[in-house]
Structure 1
Amino acid sequence: MTTLYLGGYTREQPPGRSGLARVELTGQGFGDVEALEGPSDPSWLVRAPGTHDLYAVSEGDGQVVRVRPGQGLGATTDSGGRGPAHLALSPHGRWLVAANYVSGSVGLVEVGQDGSLELVDELAFTGEGPSDRQDAPHAHQAVFLDEEDLLVCDLGADRLREVRVGERALRHTGDVVLPPGCGPRHLALAPGRTDLLWVVGELDQTVHTVRREGGAWTPVQNVTTVPEGPGPGETTTAGIVVSPDASHVYVSTRGTDTVSVYAADDGGMLTLRQQVVTGHWPRFVGWVPGLEGERLLVAAEREGSVDVWAVEEGMLEETGHSLAWPAPTWVG
């Protein structure tokens, strides 16, 4: 049995609910959902290591919150900007970095040994892109490479921002330039490697292979997630996850409502192997904790569903296990 947590938007919930919940998953499927006290709009969550606690963004309030499931809210601090959409925890657990989509900035939060949270620095970017959604920077995700270095996906400026954590401060150290109009949303590192990652281009429905050679990151390939063309309405690529052995990359696309399965060679070059149809608007994909590489979770925001897919030799197979829950944006 695995305990999963669900995050989503408060406005999609019945009155009095926060958008945070807990559910058990077994080999027979999902149990009953337990609504939990949480912050407003907990659209992205991170598990606090060594405890049952969670860290959450409160997207509408511009805050980072520690949540003790079943016990209420703990420490709270500002996210360092407006519209936090993602939260990353450093490998040793000292730092949280909030990616603030609306303000195009990132906030550095120090995690105290007593569980306290303190915003100690914020860093704003500049730039724009050719799309009408790229009139300004839009930080969508931060990913730690180690305890000091991280990459930030800037959807608004078609850049991966290279950032370093110093003495309770953030420093912008460089940029990885991606094709104009791609809109980098999320990236995933190749497990066990420090020289390879893949980036989702939300706006042009692409996945980019990026390799590091001689200390510099360089895009070397981009492939489409919509080989048959975009859907009839809005089509935007969303989530990405990589198998533990780095042999397969899984990417969700909203509008076509698909998850694409790519085989990755040793250099990270991708070949499309499979596309499966999901619920409407698959915003999030991620592994079932403890079953990485074996069970994939797909959260379809507008469908209001979370589905479990089995993975066999990299390929996806339906399990029939599906949970109805309003507007899920994170599960894990």
Structure 2
Amino acid sequence: MTTLYLGGYTTDQPPATSGLARVSWTHDGFGEVERLEGPGDPSWLVRVSDAELYAVGEGDPGKVTRVRPGEGVVAEASAGGQGTAHLALSPDRRWLVASNYVAGSVALVAVGADGSLELVDELGFEGRGPHERQDAPHAHQAVFLDDERLLVCDLGTDEVHEVSVGDGRLRHTGDIDLPRGSGPRHLALAPGRDDLLWVVGELDQTVHTVRRGDGGWTVAGTVSTAPEGPGPGETTAAGIVVSPDGSHVYVSTRGTDTVSVLAGGEDGTLTLRQQVVTGHWPRFIGWIPGEEGRHLLVAAEKEGSVDVWAVDEGLLEETGHSLAWSAPTWVG
């Protein structure tokens, strides 16, 4: 049996005061959902263990919280800016970096030896893009490369920012330029490599292969997650995960309500291999812990469901296992 944690926009549904819950999973399906004490509307979680989680909430300012299931919030710090959408933990577990979408900034939160949390620095970005949603920077995700270097997807400026962490300070050290109007939302690193990653373009429904050479990072290829065109309403790409062996990249697209299965070549170039239809608005996708590369979770925010897909030689197959949970934004 595996314990999964859920985050979502549920505090506007009386009598809920927390958007945090947990549920058991076996290959026979899901157990009963248990709502937990925790923060309101946790849009992103970082799972440290069964006994410890970190979460962010999209307030003004946003908050970073440390949660012990069964006890609730045991530590809290400001995320500095508004609209906190993502949280990343450094490999050495000394730092948390919160991405503030509305504020266009990232915040550095120190994790104390006693488990306390403290906001120690915030770094804002500048710029804009051609799309109507790109009137200002919009930091959407931070990914650590190692204990002191990270990459930040900025949907508002069509850049992935290179940032360093040292002595409790955030420093903007460079930028990776993405195609104009693409709106980089999330990225995923190639397993076992430090010269290859893939970036989701939320606004133009694309995935970009980005490679690092002697001249730095450059876009080496682009594929569409909506080859037949956008859906009937708003259409935006969302989540991305990579198989443990790096052979396949999976990307969700809201509006078309699909997950694209992209086969990766040795040089990282992608080819669309399969598309499956999911619940409405698949905001988040991720592996079941301990079953990476074998079972994929798809959280459909507007459908109010979490579905499990089996993976066979890279391709997705329906399992029929689905969990009803209002407005899910994270599961794992």
TM-score bracket relative to the smaller structure = over 0.9
Kindly indicate whether the alpha-carbon contact (under 8 Å) linking 1:158 and 1:177 is maintained by their aligned counterparts in 2: yes
The Cα of 1:16 is off from its aligned counterpart by 3.0
Q: How does 1:230-241 map to 2 (within 5 A)?
A: 230-241=230-241
Query: CA offsets, 1:215-272, max 9 Å, x none?
Result: 6111110110001110010000000000000000000000000000000011100000
Task: Tell me the residue number matched to 2:75.
Answer: 75
Task: Tell me the residue number matched to 1:180.
Answer: 180
Q: Aligned partner of 1:96: which letter? A: L
Q: Aligned partner of 1:314: which letter? A: G
Task: Tell me the residue number matched to 1:268.
Answer: 268
TM-score by length of 1: 0.98
Give the direction of change, closer, same or farther, for the CA distance of 1:215–1:66 in structure 2 (3 Å limit): farther
Kindly indicate whether the alpha-carbon contact (under 8 Å) linking 1:13 and 1:19 is maintained by their aligned counterparts in 2: no
**Secondary structure of residue in 2 paired with 1:102:** coil
Task: Tell me the residue number matched to 1:321.
Answer: 321
Task: Tell me the residue number matched to 2:86.
Answer: 86
Task: Tell me the residue number matched to 1:10.
Answer: 10
Q: How does 1:92-131 map to 2 (within 5 A)?
A: 92-131=92-131
**Secondary structure of residue in 1 paired with 2:106:** strand
**Secondary structure of residue in 2 paired with 1:74:** strand
Task: Tell me the residue number matched to 1:57.
Answer: 56
Task: Tell me the residue number matched to 1:291.
Answer: 291
Give the direction of change, closer, same or farther, for the CA distance of 1:311–1:297 in structure 2 (3 Å limit): same
1-structure distance, mates of 2:151, 2:269: 21
Task: Tell me the residue number matched to 2:304.
Answer: 304
Query: CA offsets, 1:86-114, max 9 Å, x none?
Result: 00000111110000000000000111111
2-structure distance, mates of 1:35, 1:97: 26
Give the direction of change, closer, same or farther, for the CA distance of 1:82–1:322 in structure 2 (3 Å limit): same
2-structure distance, mates of 1:165, 1:72: 29
Task: Tell me the residue number matched to 2:243.
Answer: 243
TM-score by length of 2: 0.98
Q: How does 1:152-167 map to 2 (within 5 A)?
A: 152-167=152-167
**Secondary structure of residue in 2 paired with 1:97:** strand
The Cα of 1:12 is off from its aligned counterpart by 4.6
Kindly indicate whether the alpha-carbon contact (under 8 Å) linking 1:155 and 1:184 is maintained by their aligned counterparts in 2: yes
**Secondary structure of residue in 2 paired with 1:322:** strand
Query: Which moves more between the two structures, 56-65 or 105-114?
Result: 56-65
1-structure distance, mates of 2:281, 2:12: 15
Calculate percent identity across the aligned residue pairs.
Answer: 76
Task: Tell me the residue number matched to 1:148.
Answer: 148
The Cα of 1:72 is off from its aligned counterpart by 1.2
1-structure distance, mates of 2:142, 2:6: 20
Give the direction of change, closer, same or farther, for the CA distance of 1:270–1:80 in structure 2 (3 Å limit): same
2-structure distance, mates of 1:266, 1:114: 44
2-structure distance, mates of 1:39, 1:248: 34
1-structure distance, mates of 2:215, 2:119: 30
Q: Aligned partner of 1:54: which letter? A: L
Q: Aligned partner of 1:104: which letter? A: G
Task: Tell me the residue number matched to 1:331.
Answer: 331
2-structure distance, mates of 1:129, 1:13: 36
1-structure distance, mates of 2:295, 2:103: 35
Q: Aligned partner of 2:166: which letter? A: G
2-structure distance, mates of 1:313, 1:156: 36
**Secondary structure of residue in 1 paired with 2:103:** coil
Please provide the CA RMSD for this pair: 0.9
Query: Which moves more between the two structures, 162-171 or 56-65?
Result: 56-65
Query: Which moves more between the two structures, 198-207 or 66-75?
Result: 66-75
2-structure distance, mates of 1:58, 1:115: 19
Q: Which runs of 5+ in 2 are unaligned?
A: none
Query: Which moves more between the two structures, 215-224 or 158-167?
Result: 215-224
Task: Tell me the residue number matched to 2:33.
Answer: 33
1-structure distance, mates of 2:64, 2:211: 32
The Cα of 1:118 is off from its aligned counterpart by 0.7
Q: Aligned partner of 2:221: which letter? A: Q
**Secondary structure of residue in 2 paired with 1:40:** coil
Count of aligned residue pairs for this structure pair? 331
Structure 1 stretches of 4+ moved >6 Å = none
2-structure distance, mates of 1:149, 1:297: 29
Q: Aligned partner of 1:29: which letter? A: G
Q: Which runs of 5+ in 1 are unaligned?
A: none
Kindly indicate whether the alpha-carbon contact (under 8 Å) linking 1:96 and 1:109 is maintained by their aligned counterparts in 2: yes
Kindly indicate whether the alpha-carbon contact (under 8 Å) linking 2:158 and 2:177 is maintained by their aligned counterparts in 1: yes
Kindly indicate whether the alpha-carbon contact (under 8 Å) linking 2:10 and 2:327 is maintained by their aligned counterparts in 1: no
**Secondary structure of residue in 2 paired with 1:65:** strand
